[in-house]
Chains A and B, each alone.
Chain A
Amino acid sequence: MSTQYATFHLAGHLFGVEVRRVQEVLTEQPRTPAPLAPHAVAGLINLRGQVVTALDLRRRLNMPDRQEGKVAMNVVVRAAEEVWSLLVDSIGGVIEVTDSTFEPPPDTLSGPIRELIRGAYKLDGALLLVLDVDKALEIEGAESAA
């Protein structure tokens, strides 16, 4: 058994989201800030006439902010009834992994990352962290830190 993941990089980590959840991948888009919104909400983007909320995954995972001037890529994912864009550092390829290499989150992980990671696939020379998209998008109220 194997599963396909769309991968991306975030502060030196390799993350993956199930391919079927990903609608498209876009380069940096102009964002309209949303004042009063939770910290992790990076703003709103215009996706061909649809208004899509952008979630900065670095902030969501309590990672340091992206360096000034570094562009953020958009991974557009489908959630229950909405479409969201996840802001990541850079896009990796689609990786097919065998389920036997899967392990629950390593004990060394702590904090929000651990909550939002379903587990890791042991790749050659890297770990593919599987993002729990639905949990990551649950930001109402939950997100007041940072």
Chain B
Amino acid sequence: MDDMDEIVQEFLVESYENLDQLDSDLVALEQQPGSRELLASVFRTIHTIKGTSGFLAFSKLESVAHVGENLLARLRDGQLVMTPVTTDVLLRMVDTIRALLSAIEESHSEGPVEVAEVVAAIRAVLDGEEPVLPPSAGAGAEEPAAPAAAPEPEPVAVAAPEPVTESVEVVAEVTPEPEPEVDAGVVPQPEVTPEPVAEAPAPAPTPAPAPTPAPAPTPAPTPAAAPTPAAAPAPAGGAPAEKASAAEATIRVDVELLESLVRQAGELVLARNQILQRAGALRDEDLTRACHRLNLVASEMQESVMRTRMQAIDHLWSKLPRVVRDLGNMLGRKIKLEMEGGETELDRTLLEAVKDPLTHIVRNAVDHGIEPPEVRLAAGKNEIGTLKLRAAHEGGQVVVEIRDDGKGIDPAVIGAKAVEKGLVSPVKLESLTPNDILQFLFLPGFSTAAKVTNVSGRGVGMDVVKTNIERIGGSVDVESVNGQGTVWRLRIPLTLAIVPALTVECAGQRYAMPQVNLLELVSLDTERMSTAIEDVGGAKVYRLRGALLPLIRLEEALELRRPADVELPTNLVIAVLECDGRRFGLLVDRVLDTEEIVVKPLSGALKAIGAYAGATILGDGRVSLILDVQSLARRTMRSDGLEHAADQAATQQAVTGDGQRLLVVGLGDNRRVAIPLDVVTRLEEFRTDSIERVGRREVVRYRGEILPLVRLSHHLGGGSRGSYGEQEVASLPGVVYSARGRSVAIVVDEIVDIVSGQDAHSDIDDAGLVGSAVIRDRVTELLDVRSAILAADPNFFTEQAQHELAEASKRLGV
């Protein structure tokens, strides 16, 4: 029941604030009846109250707000014009709402407050029956109406916020309320901010309201209306006195001010780090002691300041019961929603960022996770599905779990879909664990919804969730047991202002990178350096547990020049990073440390480079640039994004799908190249001394004809054992391709093997290649046969032959 209480409390605070605004709006409206802004603002307030009261099942409140809303809608749409009578009726509606709110606050129910009168009065105005009104509002009201509006808000405003604010976070309320209003209200709005501030001192005259409620009923228009207000002050009068002190415990603070406090606390922490570093070296006992204290105080202060921006995750969750209920009803599911750890706090900006992803996952769980009751019964489960939300602090992060006991996610279905979409080859799929397969859910454009419903499956899927969560430095993963349920786990940093980062060194300079992108570090010593990093057409790759990891040398990416006095590193470190769902390795000289850094903005000129996400000041006071890992990867990798990756996947599928067999040949520099066996007519050995030159081309006499020849190592660039000048090789193997009476020879250094399919594929390619793959544990480049043949004989392809080769190429995905 506590959850509910909090929602009610929140609703009360919200409504009281809105009502104060409403009073002044209504009065202002009387002066300028045509103001659409004012009308819109008033309408919105009542609309909000109506909506929430309906949700909380306060039926009287809802009925009053409902008719009020109708009246306001007419006014807003210009079907009715503001008259003093209308204003009066509306003000009475406000009073009634106040009375109801007070009753709710006191007794958690609407109590005996009479609403029928007001509802009838509003209906009358709606029906254009002004004459009917006078008994309740007419003669007496016109004059007292204005005074009524003036004194009344005061007593209630003072009485109301007091007990309510008690249980509500200060910061929490500052934003959500004024914000939505700001865009609409023109003049009155700026006053919204000062107003709440003024409320803090307001409680001072607390004793005053006690007598004031008494007059409250008096100005209320007529004796006929007396029962309505009378009910209100009765309960209101009793409570505020007891709770008076609660309001003094909280004040409202401008969020901007808090932001600047957080920034300054960050600075303080940095300064402390610097002092600690220096002091450690001095061995001065007094200084050390003072430093310890500084350390302690700074840490505590940082924590407290951070807490001012914290909000319980309940603020998000409170909206979910409704979402689940409505959705469940719509889809015919029976669902029990459990929430645990709602008090877990999170920086409010992060909270805001998590809102949509969280809602999306919850909707998904209801739509795709939990089965209809009959299916659940058939599966031997309780017909009521359970959706459990859990939030907790874990190692400096907040973990939010969304767990359902539904049908789970079938890896087979996901896998089949991934293959169908060309995201993975069937061969590769077999080697993936069920958990790996579930990760496909996070790829763009992946949706398992069999049909598009209006609940989910509109193309914005888990990839958006993932992107949004990663944008704030968090992560999301999923686990599922087929038939038993699914768990989504969001990991969210506590705050954005301070980021855990890895500091690395390259060419004598230090750089920081956010740890959130970091998967692991691989250290390479001198011996392994030369062999472990392989070259694919000029691009470097590292074989990480069998998978090809494209490498980016930070030195090259940043065009660093090594100063003469800095020695070349004797070993290197590969930081394995992941962003946008792609892995790559960043080669740096050294990893220095992990550090909490405060991100500082860069000037526009540096931002424009696109290599840095910001700068920070490290413990020794020096500035360090923060690498923008994502755009570095984009700048450096040859492929441009997913389109290319999809192409490659198609290539691979074509190659492996057809059970294509490949001839693997060796070139100098330990390179391996694969040629589709389709285009191999014969394998021959050519004597090097039979190779002759015709113009700029090389030919070889072969079976009585002149065969144009291309040396693959030349064609692809790079050295070869059999190049000119080193005649130590007597003969070279060649691949002969014949079509329509014409033949060409592709000369290689050695014939290695014939294999079918390949088990890994990377994005790296180069001129003359269509990609690369791991074959028999070696990185192997896939030859673009067409360009190799054209290099040997530009006139090789007659029209017909061209067609034939195009067919073969299609299978290769060229």
Residues on A lying within 8 angstroms of B by beta carbon are 30-38, 41, 43-46, 49-51, 53, 82, 84, 137, 139-140
Contacts and interface: CB of A to CB of B under 8 A. Distances in A.
Contacts of A45: 623
B513 to A, nearest CB: 14
A140 B604 contact: yes
Given A43-B623, A49-B267, A82-B604, 12 more contacts: A30-B621, A32-B622, A34-B609, A34-B625, A36-B609, A38-B605, A41-B606, A44-B606, A46-B621, A49-B270, A51-B617, A53-B602
Contacts of A140: 604-605, 608
A139 B267 CA distance: 29
Interface in B397-423: none
Interface string B541-569: 00000000000000000111000000000
Nearest to A34: B606
Contacts of A49: 267, 270-271, 617
B210 interface: no
Interface in B588-623: 600-606, 608-609, 611-612, 615-617, 621-623
A95 to B, nearest CB: 29
Contacts of B624: 32
Interface string B619-659: 00111110000000000000000000000000000000000
Contacts of B616: 51
Given A35-B558, A36-B611, A44 B625 contact: yes
A113 B622 CA distance: 32
Given A36-B611, A51-B600, A44 B605 contact: no
B509 A32 contact: yes
Label chain A's interface by main secondary structure.
loop
Nearest to B614: A51
Contacts of B621: 30, 46
Nearest to B271: A49
Contacts, number: 64
Nearest to B616: A51
Contacts of B267: 49
Interface of B: 267, 270-271, 509-510, 558-560, 600-606, 608-609, 611-612, 615-617, 621-625
A110 B391 CA distance: 67
Nearest to A55: B605
Contacts of A33: 509
A32 B625 contact: yes
Given A51-B600, A140-B605, A36 B622 contact: no
Contacts of B605: 37-38, 41, 53, 137, 139-140
A140 B603 CA distance: 11
Nearest to B612: A34
Contact of B559 (A32, A36, A84): A36
A68 to B, nearest CB: 13
B609 A44 contact: no
Contacts of A43: 623
A27 B510 CA distance: 23
A32 B611 CA distance: 15
Contacts of B600: 50-51
Contact of A32 (B270, B601, B608, B623): B623
A30 B623 CA distance: 9
Given A37-B606, A41-B606, A46 B623 contact: yes
A45 B608 CA distance: 19
B606 A53 contact: yes
Nearest to B264: A49
A135 B35 CA distance: 47
Contacts of B270: 49
24 contacts: A32-B510, A32-B615, A35-B611, A36-B558, A36-B559, A36-B609, A37-B605, A41-B606, A44-B625, A46-B617, A46-B621, A49-B267, A49-B270, A49-B271, A49-B617, A50-B600, A51-B601, A51-B602, A53-B602, A53-B603, A82-B603, A139-B605, A140-B605, A140-B608
Nearest to A81: B604
B606 A46 contact: no
A45 B617 CA distance: 9
Contact of B615 (A35, A51, A137, A139): A51
Contacts of B606: 34, 37, 41, 44, 53
Contacts of B625: 32, 34, 44
Nearest to B608: A140
A80 B608 CA distance: 17
A84 B603 contact: yes
B500 to A, nearest CB: 19
A34 B558 CA distance: 9
B559 A35 contact: yes
Contacts of B271: 49
Nearest to A31: B623
